[in-house]
Amino acid sequence: MFATAAIERRVAVGFLIVLIGVIVIGGITLLSAHQLTTNNALVVHTLDVLNELENLLIIAIDAENGHRGYVITGSQEFLEPYNIAVAGLETQLDRIDAMTSDNPSQQSRAEDLRSLFVQRMDILRQTIELRDEQGADAAIRRVATGEGKALGDQIRTLIADMEAEENALLVQRSADAESSSRFAVVLTLFLVGGLLALLTAVYVVIQRDSRSRRRAEIVLQDARNYAESIVNTVRHPLLVLSEDLRVRTANRAFYDTFQTSAAQTEGRYLYELGGKEWDIGPLRALLTDILPHNTPLEDFEVEADFFQIGRRVMLLDARRLYREGNHTTQLLLAVEDVTDRKQAEAQIRQLNHDLEARAQHLEQANKELEAFSYTVSHDLRAPLRAIDGFSRILIEDFAPSLDASAQRYLGIVQQNALQMGALIDDLLAFSRLNRQSMRKQPVDLAKLAHEVIDALKSEVEGEGADHQVEFVVGDLPVCEADPALLRQVFSNLFSNAVKYSRKRDHAVITVGCVNDTNDVNDANTANGSNGKQPVIYVKDNGVGFDMRYASNLFGVFQRLHRAEDYEGTGVGLATVQRIVQRHGGRIWAEAEPDKGATFYFTLAENGENADHDGNGGTT
């Protein structure tokens, strides 16, 4: 992973920096040690030079003292130090010469010293020879010239100069040595400090990295556990296959479903599992195809006799899995046992098929019913027409030859034929209601009510009614409805109201609307009404009826009054109810014998016609 690589690189860089730091410190320490040694060697050398200069001075003094003693005493014994000095002088001068070879000024002084010593030794030797040849006095005179002493003084001065120079050098070199050693200490301290800081930094980085790595490992482990728990919780069997379709792992659902174990599954080829029921050519080809082309396998159906569990239908889905960790490609194979679902589907298909057959049957029955209705309307009516028509001819054309009771009987025959014709008409109209398609559109109920009332009034007047009928139309909404069907509703309800109030001297028929069904004292309103949908009512002050028989009100051919009191076929209210129901509404009534009746109806269950603020007042 990228993060790991970054951490490793950071640690490597840190260590490299520390390594370079150590090398630099080592080099600097070595260099300063070397510098220290060099400076110390120079100090020692200077001390050596000073020492040798002292020795030279001693030689000079020994030579003079020896010579002086010999001059005074003439004793060979005194000449001994002089001889030693002369013998060592040349060597000592050479030594000093060599030792000062690095210093030009000292070198030239050394040259001068050498020539001074040559002259001085010449004088000493001449004085000694003078003592030997001419005696002490001559020699003393010679000394007394001061020539020798001057040379001796010059030598001493020169040596003192050289010593002063060397002493100055000594001071200089000591200071150099000290400063370079101090510098080395400071530098070392500084570098060690830096190194420590660097090491600390590297330590912190490593520490942090290792902590984050530990955290990453925890996350990874967590993810692995999570994935594992998912895989084991999934109710579908899952298989992880290697590239050669060998089972790497399977989940619990797989073992449960196929009633097998890890031992019988892991490491085996897919097509060798169980009773080789997985050995399906096309499946193998498809699975092999997934690896190079990454084409997912979806909904591959396998129906086979599975080892242990019998004939099942399995639905397979497969995906390629690329494992970053070890750069391998694997296959995830998900299995779903759809046997039950398939069975259920087949059952549903069968049910659908049955339903379709039944629907066809029903359609057939409907068609037969229609044909039957047609037959009824045409063929059943033909004999009725004959009965009615010829009865009428008898009454109209042969009245003189018929006595009163014969005429009355013929009248009854004719009336019954007409009644049966009306029954057939109503019944046909009622049965057609269910088949007729609805054409809903906004209908102004008030306008419709007025139209129906006008038609009814002219009819009533045509019959020469002897009682007064007053219609009151309250506020009525505009509703989504089939206008022709709704006209039928009003027509039936109004003519009923007229019919059952014709014994009133002053019949009042009110049509209106209430919005709140709670205003309406009706046992049926509790279910489904939301209290906001308009409720249309038609109220009369006629004979009413006994509420005990209200349940028969809307049944076909059900009547609450005797035919000789109020004519009718018993289809009108059934038709009204059917129309209201087809609009999604309800109808109910309340009445009391001799105190009038009120019919209520709604047109839609969900109050979609609520575009009205009607408060059903009378006008």
By the criterion CB under 8 A, which residues form the site for another protein?
A: 377-378, 381-383, 385-386, 388-390, 393, 424-425, 428-429, 432
Nearest to 580 by CA among 453, 481, 496: 481
Least distance to another protein, CB of residue 393, Å: 6
d(CA 231, CA 239): 10
d(CA 116, CA 150): 10
Q: Which is nearer to another protein, 55 or 436 (CB)?
A: 436
Give the torsion through C-alpha atoms of 161, 164, 170, 172, to 10 deg: -100
Nearest to 7 by CA among 157, 176, 215, 178: 215
Least distance to another protein, CB of residue 495, Å: 16
Least distance to another protein, CB of residue 409, Å: 20
Least distance to another protein, CB of residue 424, Å: 8
Please give the C-alpha separations between residue 313 and each of 252, 281, 348, 477, 552, in angstroms, as whole numbers.
19, 17, 17, 60, 57
Q: Which is nearer to another protein, 103 or 377 (CB)?
A: 377
d(CA 111, CA 117): 10
Least distance to another protein, CB of residue 536, Å: 26
Q: Which is nearer to another protein, 113 or 571 (CB)?
A: 571
Please give the C-alpha separations between residue 549 and each of 537, 557, 571, in angstroms, as whole numbers.
20, 14, 16
Q: Which is nearer to another protein, 188 or 436 (CB)?
A: 436
Write the CB contacts of 487 (distance below 8 Å, at least 6 apart in sequence): 448, 451, 452
Q: Which is nearer to another protein, 341 or 432 (CB)?
A: 432
Q: Which is nearer to another protein, 154 or 419 (CB)?
A: 419
Least distance to another protein, CB of residue 374, Å: 9
Least distance to another protein, CB of residue 366, Å: 15
Q: Which is nearer to another protein, 83 or 377 (CB)?
A: 377
Token pair listed for 181: 């050693």
Nearest to 52 by CA among 234, 44, 342: 44
Least distance to another protein, CB of residue 365, Å: 19
Least distance to another protein, CB of residue 589, Å: 26
Helix, coil or strand: residue 383: helix
Contact 231, 251 (CB under 8 A): yes
Give the torsion through C-alpha atoms of 66, 68, 69, 71, to 10 deg: 120
- What's the per-residue H, E or C state across 398-463? CHHHCCHHHHHHHHHHHHHHHHHHHHHHHHHHHHHHHHCCCCCEEEEHHHHHHHHHHHHHHHHHHC
R_g (Cα) of the chain, nearest Å: 70
Q: Which is nearer to another protein, 229 or 375 (CB)?
A: 375
Q: Which is nearer to another protein, 45 or 392 (CB)?
A: 392
Token pair listed for 440: 């809903």
For Cα atoms 483, 484, 487, give the angle at the middle one, nearest 5 degrees.
Answer: 85
Least distance to another protein, CB of residue 397, Å: 8
Q: Which is nearer to another protein, 205 or 429 (CB)?
A: 429
